[in-house]
Amino acid sequence: MPDTAFVRSEMLPQQAPPITERGAVKWLRENLFSSPFNTVLTLIGLAVVFFLAQAALPWLMNSVWNATSLKECREIVWASAGPEATGACWALIRERWHQFLFGFYPADLYWRPVLALGLLLISLAPVLYYGLRKASVTLVGTVAALTLIALAMLDHDPTHLVIFALGLGGLTATAWVAPKRLLVLTVIYPLLGFWLLWGGSVWAPVGVAIGFALLVAVYLATKSYLGVVVATGAGFVVAAIWWLAVQTSVTTGLEAAMPLGMQAITSDQFGGFLLAFVIGVTAIGASLPIGILLALGRQSDMLLIKTLCVGFIEFVRGVPLITVLFTATLLLGYFLPPQTNFDVVLRVIILVTFFSAAYLAEVIRGGLAALPKGQYEAADALGLDYWQAQRLIVMPQALKVSIPGIVSTFIGLFKDTTLVAFVGLMDPLKGVTTIVRADTAWKGIYWEPYIFVGAIFFAVCFGMSRYSMYLEQKLKTDHR
């Protein structure tokens, strides 16, 4: 029998890892002090954080919310935290929030933009969360509740509130019972929102809606034997005849017979984030279809169409937005018939739409290029015509690939709405803030208004980019 006395017959109990290899010490060693270089980086980072905190924290802690001027703010801060102490003066925001949000929109009508924003989000719910009842009900319910609270704070008439509550409750119920029905709201929202914001006779948007209805009717009736392109053209011709020649007389007649309407608001009363949202949302909504068409045109076999699209896209992408905005205000008047004078906000929206459509077209072209040729050939093999292939096979895949680019174009567009200040509109950043800072009571204030405006922009843009990440995840079908 061999002598094996030194062989252990039972396992030793596990020992705890050494102190440097566990818990907070391990984490610190690995994440902050793994090498001399990293240690230096960490120390620099800590110094940066320390200096920022040292400057910003007392300033934030000494915030003043109730004051009527910057001087009063400073006196309050000095009284509470000692002389020469710094403190944020949010009282400015408290006093002027309505200008930042609504510009010079009449104060008693604030419920209209608020309701328009609420309805916008509700009408977006079925698009953003298509087929997801729970998410869409959560969104609609939250938005409806918030809108109602905001309306209750703005308008104290109980009958109005009951009407609003019933309407918003009805929408929430619809989102629960039949989420896809909400798409009806999405379709009519552009005109509804327009009417809520600008007011005036209800028959004008109805007239425009009838034009679109005519377009769709003609398209559906003639599509089967004229083809998509020609049928769309025919629809546009009929609708244009209605809009240009017939609509005015019909709507005036209806207005005379049954006057229905709200107080009309002119565009120069729009301002602040209301203006940024109106321009941003309209341009985002309208630029996507135009961008898709431009991208398809750029890929087209038809030489003329291709040249036109390439020329347009390259031209627009080659000039700064500000020159495009100047074109809207200075040159458009030359290109239109004499004495035409249409709304400056509308002009800006149209040109901003075309501007971002060109960028979108390039993004979507990237998505189209990423698609294997086999997809097109498969569509041909199935006997689909061009538009069917685009709608059913090409676009769903190409758009999915280009989601990050599309959303970052949208974010850029929303940020660029601040540039309308340079053509005399009241954007929240330059327009409103300059007016506010010019007030003698608030002269010398700068951090607070810019932080407020920047924070709202950040929230919206960051939200958009997070949503695009969510959408990418949701639509991901590859198994990697």
What does the binding site for another protein look like in residue numbers (CB under 8 A)? Answer: 30-32, 34, 38, 41-42, 44-46, 48-49, 226-227, 229-230, 233, 301-305, 308, 314-315, 317-323, 326-327, 330-331, 333-338, 411, 415-416, 418-419, 421-422, 429-430, 433, 444, 446, 450, 453-454, 457-458, 461-462, 465
Nearest to 143 by CA among 113, 123, 166: 123
DSSP state of 68: S
| Rounded Cα distance, 141 and 199, in Å | 26
- Minimum CB separation of residue 337 from another protein in Å reads 5
Q: Which segments of 90-132 does DSSP mark as H helices, in order?
A: 91-102, 111-128
Comparing CB distances to another protein, the nearer of 50 and 65 is: 50
Nearest to 141 by CA among 116, 122, 162: 122
Comparing CB distances to another protein, the nearer of 177 and 455 is: 455
Q: Is 89 helix (H, G, I), strand (E, B) or coil?
A: strand
Comparing CB distances to another protein, the nearer of 43 and 163 is: 43
Comparing CB distances to another protein, the nearer of 345 and 413 is: 413
| Rounded Cα distance, 368 and 401, in Å | 9
| Rounded Cα distance, 229 and 386, in Å | 11
- Minimum CB separation of residue 32 from another protein in Å reads 6
Q: Is 103 helix (H, G, I), strand (E, B) or coil?
A: coil
Reduced to 3 DSSP states, what percent helix, strand and coil does the chain have, rounded to the nearest 5?
Answer: 80, 0, 20
Cβ proximity of 430 and 421 under 8 Å: yes
DSSP state of 394: I
- Minimum CB separation of residue 471 from another protein in Å reads 18
- Minimum CB separation of residue 315 from another protein in Å reads 7
| Rounded Cα distance, 419 and 430, in Å | 8
CA atoms within 13 A on the CB side of 88: 18
**Structure token pair of residue 366:** 């990237």
Q: Which regions of 260-398 does DSSP assign to beta strands (E)? A: 261-262
Cβ proximity of 378 and 236 under 8 Å: no
Phi (first) and psi of residue 261, to 5 degrees: 175, 175
| Rounded Cα distance, 262 and 197, in Å | 10
- Minimum CB separation of residue 360 from another protein in Å reads 15
Comparing CB distances to another protein, the nearer of 35 and 159 is: 35
- Minimum CB separation of residue 437 from another protein in Å reads 8
Nearest to 387 by CA among 278, 263, 300, 326: 300
Q: Is 408 helix (H, G, I), strand (E, B) or coil?
A: helix
Comparing CB distances to another protein, the nearer of 49 and 392 is: 49
- Minimum CB separation of residue 462 from another protein in Å reads 5
Comparing CB distances to another protein, the nearer of 123 and 409 is: 409
Comparing CB distances to another protein, the nearer of 220 and 459 is: 459
Nearest to 102 by CA among 91, 85, 115: 115
Comparing CB distances to another protein, the nearer of 47 and 216 is: 47
- Minimum CB separation of residue 283 from another protein in Å reads 15
- Minimum CB separation of residue 388 from another protein in Å reads 14
- Minimum CB separation of residue 429 from another protein in Å reads 6
- The count of residues in the chain is 480
Comparing CB distances to another protein, the nearer of 220 and 455 is: 455
